[in-house]
Structures are given as structure tokens and as C-alpha cells.
Amino acid sequence: MQSFVFNLNKDKFHAAVFSPQNGPRAKLLRQNGIETFIGLDLLPLLEKFKPEIVHIHRAGWAEPGSLRLLKLARIPVIVETNVFGHHDPSPDAKIISRHLFVSHFCADRFEKVNSIPATKPLYSVLYNPVDTDFFAKKCPASRVFPPNIFGRISRADSGKWSNLALDILPNLSAMVTNKIIEPFSYNIIGGIPEAEKYVKENSFDGYVNFLPPVLTDAELSEFFNSISFLAHANDTGESFGLVIAEAMAAGLPVITHPSEGLKDNAQLELVDHGETGLVANDAQEYAEAIRFIMTHPEEARIMGENGRLKAQKLYRAQTIAKKLESTYVELLNIKRNIY
């Protein structure tokens, strides 16, 4: 959402942001000239602001009452970024003009599960935007990668974790003991108490560093410059995988793993095995993938640059914002023609 409002054409769109609660991004929005409305009664705000378009971000499933105020305000166009690709069969959901899936995986799963074609005019795919231009500048291809240092980043939330993120450590430690790889550093942003306990109890403190969270792309680029590849592990999978896309934009190869069944699996839409990173199925394969990248720096650099090119082609924030602008205009024109 922040990237969208930063990159919309300000000569055509006057954007503002509403949130029921304050948070760390409110200051960043205001610093960039975006009006923020926090904790106010939404209906009077809508009646005063009179937006032609409201763009909501939500999981996609039914949230009783959440759309009622938008319906009462008679907003001409309502766009939903359907973050997890779920279906809302409620009557209120009929006011939504376009459901945007954040990956083709989500659109395909939606069709499979609901037997509803995920096609226009009601559905389409729009990737999450990434400031690839910024990462290209701050994380240039010419930089020197720190050897044997890799990292993972997520929210400090158990739902964003996988045991795989820690189960690789015994295998990697054994490789160090057997002189298969050099000693390594594993830098983690978003560590959870269970992870810190595991590391301490199993004496992996010498390998693992838990770091504080970051907020801005500038801080994120510093983290990416401090590692040579991204180790992604999340049992629930990714409906898009923003951190993966950002790491790709920074020229880092990514190691990830598939999810089971109908869980989110868009990480495999982003990471092409052997091209932009590696896909591992278990802890042994994952440790072997880490060994390969650590011992084949040239191949790792090529995968990283392949990932950068893919991110620039598919996720560039300015390009994605223009596609969103076209969607807004398309839907407004449809609404005006109807009425």
C-alpha cells in the first residue's frame, strides 16, 4: 500500500490512507506528502473526503461488517488487493469492482478451489510492487559479497517461520567440522523466542546472530549488503513473497522450499530452481543448497543477477503503479458508462 501511494501519478490521483490504528508507516507516509486518517469514524470521513476509488487490502475471505460502511458511502469503485487469494461469498462483497490477486499462484488456486474463473472484469493479477530502482542503486552488481554469510528476514511471528530454518544448523555445523565448508554466519531478522532458545540450547550461538527489525528500504538494503544470499523458510508459504522479491531486486540468490497441499506456494513462482536460486525439499537438501552457494560464488552471483532482472521486469514499483492506475481508470469508465 505504501509503495502504491508513493508511486501513483500525483497529477491524476489524490491519495490518502485510512487505518483504524497507528503504526510505524504513518510517519513515512506523511513525510512523503500522503494524508493519513487514523482511528476516525470511517463513514463521516468517506462522506467528507468523497473518494471516487477506495482500495482495500485484506485476506480475501468474508469479514462480516467490514464492507458495510463502504456500501453506505456509495463509493463508485472499490478495488481489493486480495492478499491470500481467498473467496468472499457474502452479499457485501458484490460491491467490490475488482479483486487483485498478488500472484498467479493465488489466482490459479482460487479457480481450482472455488470453480470461479479468475478473469476480468472482476478478477486480475497485480504483483506487489518493489522499488527495484532503489535496490539496484544501493545494492549494485559490482559490490563484493561477504563470504559465508547468509540471512533470513520476516516478522517476529511464529506463523512466518519453519523448523527448516533451524533444522539446517546441525547439518551445516557437521560440514564445518568435516571441513566441507568454512565457518559461516547466519543473520536473522525477526527471530522468535523458540528460535533463540533452540540456538542457545544447541550451542549454535557462534553461527547465528539475531538482529533487530528494519522498517525502510534503506535499512533493508544495508541488510542485503551484509549477506551473500537469502535463506527463506516459512511453513505457511507465501501468497507473493515480498522479502524474496526484494532480495532478488538486490541481486541475491534465494533458497526456498515448497509448501504442501493448497498452502501458499508463490515462492516457487518467484524462485526458479537453478536460475534465480535453489529449491530444497528437506533440511538435508537445504543444507546442500547452502553448501553449493557458499562454495560456488560465481554461480551464486549469476543466479542473483538473474533474479534481479526478473524482479525489474515483473515487480518494478513504478511499472506496477502504472498498471494499477490503468485499472482504476478502466473501472471508473465502466462505472460512468453504466450510470
Residue 339's pLDDT band (boundaries 50, 70, 90)? low
Pairwise CA distance, residues 152 & 161, whole Å: 10
Q: What pLDDT is attached to residue 294? A: 97
Q: What is the DSSP letter of 40?
A: S
Q: Are residues 3 and 129 in contact, defined by beta-carbon separation less than 8 angstroms?
A: yes
* Per-residue pLDDT reduced to its tens digit, 234-278: 999 999 999 999 999 999 999 999 999 889 999 999 999 999 999
* Per-residue pLDDT reduced to its tens digit, 57-116: 999 999 999 999 999 999 999 999 999 999 999 999 999 999 999 999 999 999 999 999
Q: Are residues 233 and 152 in contact, defined by beta-carbon separation less than 8 angstroms?
A: yes
Portion of the chain with pLDDT greater than 90, in percent: 96
Q: Are residues 246 and 134 in contact, defined by beta-carbon separation less than 8 angstroms?
A: no
* Per-residue pLDDT reduced to its tens digit, 284-329: 999 999 999 999 999 999 999 999 999 999 999 999 999 999 999 9
141-145 own/partner pairs: CB under 8 Å, 24+ apart: 141/251, 141/301, 141/305, 141/308, 143/225, 145/228, 145/297, 145/300, 145/301
Q: Name the β-bridge partners of 152.
A: 188
Domain spans of the chain? Answer: 2-129+316-338, 132-314
Q: Are residues 141 and 251 in contact, defined by beta-carbon separation less than 8 angstroms?
A: yes
- What is the average pLDDT score of the chain? 96
Whether residue 118 has pLDDT greater than 60? yes
Q: 2-129+316-338 with 132-314: one CATH topology?
A: yes
* Per-residue pLDDT reduced to its tens digit, 147-191: 999 999 999 999 999 999 999 999 999 999 999 999 999 999 999
Whether residue 336 has pLDDT greater than 90? no
Q: What pLDDT is attached to residue 338? A: 66
Chain-centroid distance of CA 288 in Å reads: 26
Q: What pLDDT is attached to residue 335? A: 87
The class that CATH gives domain 2-129+316-338 is alpha beta
Give the global pTM.
0.95
Q: Which residues contact 54 (CB under 8 A, 6 or more apart)?
A: 46, 70, 75, 77, 78, 79
Query: Cα torsion for 258, 249, 316, 125, to the nearest 10°?
Result: 0
Q: Are residues 182 and 218 in contact, defined by beta-carbon separation less than 8 angstroms?
A: no
Domain 132-314, CATH among 3.40.50.2000, 3.40.640.10, 3.90.480.20, 3.30.830.10: 3.40.50.2000
